[in-house]
Structure 1
């Protein structure tokens, strides 16, 4: 298919797609993937009234993008005491994880599906004064209709890998048309800025603006929960395997088997619903395990505390001076190093860190993180860092410096974005 006709064909199909969208959403709701009580929002029917005054709309695809919006939302609201904010996401998990954390003068809605009726219903109700997209969530109908409504648009925290740039390059005409709608594009790194310029975005509209995820810190644990956990762990040396995926828990278990008896591992799977499977793996490995989801606390013989709950990462980071960041031994691109850095941890990771490549490169150069390629290397690194307070402290301090250097000035960013709405 010729690139020049793809966008018109897509837009034409989106005019007729509402019945199909309704059926697909109903099927997803039946599987628990959509909030059945709020399906109307996905079809452009508002679930809340529009507030009076100036409204900034931010959109992030899922939990990670929505979480990175939180510090920016705080900065926007601080910059203008009369401002109101709307955050949209496309996933139920993001709504449930981030919606309750929104500050006053901010509210959550589900993003509309990319049909003409849903998009126009959404925009006619909310009438945003500024639209901010986070990272790389591109929906042609939604973007074009927003621009046609006269709403200035910005792309923030953009990251474009070499593979994504090549894929977009095969549809360069459409890429230039869609990406050219943004009045301002702020990327996580210089390489992404160069790739976007190569796709046809005007260079004067692009700049590297740091990584918003550097400003994201899990909520601090309740003091009582932290005190109880520390009491249960008294006399134990602790390390954390954070956001692990299938395949990585086996490496964590093997590493833990090789460590001394007084060392306890906190294992926090990326998806806590995998808790039963992970618990079974740990049992097969002969590691005495306490499950947080069952209300169990570790005892003197416990080797692993299985952190199979949601919303408690702040607690686990507060307990562990050494953190292995998951998604990096499994081919998942790695998860954020900024959170353990914010809690003053020494950081270990596997070889796959593509999702945060600039951050991990900076950490490597500064001595703020260390790669491991499997269970034996993980066990050796954990043992050494738990024994050597000086090495662990130096690594943690370097990671903290890198995080601060890569985190944008949120007040300046908010002022720059709000200036678009004032034009």
Structure 2
């Protein structure tokens, strides 16, 4: 009954939903994928990963790479909800994986998608819990698991309002690898059986550091000469003005300072560039291969897939989305893994455990607004020893928490082997044990 009401509501909202996803497309991809119209993969062995957007694709990077390496006889299909996630996937893996957009969670679309894909295993990264998709996979005998599972307090309260629907759906998952003990408790409360639940830790700690990219970043930084450099990354509308205010504060005392500004969403690149010019900041764009000159004040990182390279250029990093409650912050571990001191705002609900761990280890500085950011930047530019301490402690924290990938890989191997044995028993007409 609950799922029927849920589906009826989706159908009623279809015009609004379709309008929302219409812009999330790629020129070479049919929008009919949103209704489950993908090629037929039934003659192939498929492993399916769903990573909703850029953040989830980045989180899943090491896991996707391990699937490619561990199961060369399989096709790895990755779905996203957003076009930016699709572009990030192509940047990271090119043609090593196949991409499709996830269908909208209408019963027919979900059934059609699963029927044509027929994966041996489906892995949902973080938490995108679509009831009709989960049911379609379960009804087709496709094992579905959640990796790097997290449920924020806000999302938990929302799911509890639909307790019966979520409980019936989540009971169909074959395994959940939760980021933390608190996440595991929330999954358990929502209906995941204890025997199907493991605390793995966060996949984000198992960052795949590309030494070639780091070398390119160091070379790029060296080409700019000996000047103070900081980065503001994954920024949103409403944050850039405060960041430019902080940079103006830094320039008042360090006139040769350079800000690397990397907006979160590519559709905002042009707007942010115009904002920089309106603030009378001498700005060049990486996408245009414009070189940084002595008079350059802002280097706009308006490309995809190069964030780690740009982090490697910086003395300090402010991670965006952290001044906006409805965003809740972005990946603090990427600069930390490179030993770059981490600064952020206070709105970090979507990664609270990581944020708190960095504070406990005194490896993150929190700033309330642009003025506070400028003051802390000047303080740290004037104190190289404290910068080095912050970076060293942050990198040590990341190294100490690695291990989620290895544990997740072991469970993935177990699930794939169980699926293979079930298939063989089915072929021989043997009833599986109860």
1:171 and 2:162 equivalent?
yes
Instruction: Provide the rounded CA distance (Å) in 2 between the counterparts of 1:392 and 1:268.
Output: 22
Q: Aligned runs of 1:329-408 on 2, under 5 Å?
A: 329-331=323-325, 332-408=327-403
Within the candidate set 401, 412, 416, 1:421 is matched to 416
Instruction: Provide the rounded CA distance (Å) in 2 between the counterparts of 1:344 and 1:140.
Output: 41
Residue in 1 that maps onto 2:142: 151
1:38 and 2:30 equivalent?
yes
CA 1:51–1:369 in 2, change beyond 3 Å: closer, same or farther?
farther
1:289 and 2:280 equivalent?
no
Equivalent pair of 1:85/1:107 in contact (CA under 8 Å)? yes
Instruction: Provide the rounded CA distance (Å) in 2 between the counterparts of 1:105 and 1:305.
Output: 32
Cα drift, residue 42 of structure 1: 2.6
Residue in 2 that maps onto 1:275: 269
Residue in 1 that maps onto 2:316: 322
Residues 237-275 of structure 1 deviation map (CA, whole Å, 9 limit, x = unaligned): 111111111222122111111221122111111124323
Instruction: Provide the rounded CA distance (Å) in 2 between the counterparts of 1:164 and 1:113.
Output: 20
Structure 1 gap ranges (5+): none
Equivalent pair of 2:318/2:343 in contact (CA under 8 Å)? yes
Cα drift, residue 365 of structure 1: 0.5
1:187 and 2:178 equivalent?
yes
Residue in 2 that maps onto 1:245: 236
Instruction: Provide the rounded CA distance (Å) in 2 between the counterparts of 1:251 and 1:275.
Output: 17
Residue in 2 that maps onto 1:52: 44
Instruction: Provide the rounded CA distance (Å) in 1 between the counterparts of 2:276 and 2:317.
Output: 19
Cα drift, residue 404 of structure 1: 2.5
Cα drift, residue 218 of structure 1: 7.5
Within the candidate set 10, 23, 35, 2:6 is matched to 10
1:266 and 2:260 equivalent?
yes
1:93 and 2:112 equivalent?
no
Q: Aligned runs of 1:60-79 on 2, under 5 Å?
A: 60-79=51-70
Q: Secondary structure at the match of 2:268?
A: helix
Number of residues paired by the alignment?
413
1:135 and 2:126 equivalent?
yes
Instruction: Provide the rounded CA distance (Å) in 2 between the counterparts of 1:104 and 1:336.
Output: 26
1:308 and 2:299 equivalent?
no
Instruction: Note the aligned Cα RMSD (angstroms).
Output: 2.8
Q: Secondary structure at the match of 1:136?
A: coil
Cα drift, residue 204 of structure 1: 2.8
Instruction: Provide the rounded CA distance (Å) in 2 between the counterparts of 1:115 and 1:365.
Output: 44
Give the TM-score taking structure 1 as reference length: 0.88
Instruction: Provide the rounded CA distance (Å) in 2 between the counterparts of 1:231 and 1:48.
Output: 50
Equivalent pair of 2:126/2:149 in contact (CA under 8 Å)? yes
Instruction: Provide the rounded CA distance (Å) in 2 between the counterparts of 1:280 and 1:412.
Output: 46
Equivalent pair of 1:28/1:34 in contact (CA under 8 Å)? no
Give the TM-score taking structure 2 as reference length: 0.86
Equivalent pair of 2:203/2:404 in contact (CA under 8 Å)? no
CA 1:276–1:56 in 2, change beyond 3 Å: closer, same or farther?
closer
Cα drift, residue 228 of structure 1: 6.5
Cα drift, residue 85 of structure 1: 1.9
Residue in 2 that maps onto 1:196: 187
Instruction: Provide the rounded CA distance (Å) in 1 between the counterparts of 2:350 and 2:221.
Output: 33
Cα drift, residue 143 of structure 1: 0.7
Instruction: Provide the rounded CA distance (Å) in 2 between the counterparts of 1:105 and 1:286.
Output: 43
CA 1:283–1:46 in 2, change beyond 3 Å: closer, same or farther?
closer
Q: Secondary structure at the match of 2:267?
A: helix
Q: Secondary structure at the match of 2:142?
A: coil
CA 1:32–1:202 in 2, change beyond 3 Å: closer, same or farther?
closer
Cα drift, residue 294 of structure 1: 3.6
Structure 2 gap ranges (5+): 419-434
Equivalent pair of 2:232/2:261 in contact (CA under 8 Å)? yes
Instruction: Provide the rounded CA distance (Å) in 1 between the counterparts of 2:287 and 2:94.
Output: 28
Instruction: Provide the rounded CA distance (Å) in 1 between the counterparts of 2:414 and 2:59.
Output: 21
CA 1:247–1:52 in 2, change beyond 3 Å: closer, same or farther?
closer
Instruction: Provide the rounded CA distance (Å) in 2 between the counterparts of 1:77 and 1:347.
Output: 32
Instruction: Provide the rounded CA distance (Å) in 2 between the counterparts of 1:282 and 1:418.
Output: 49
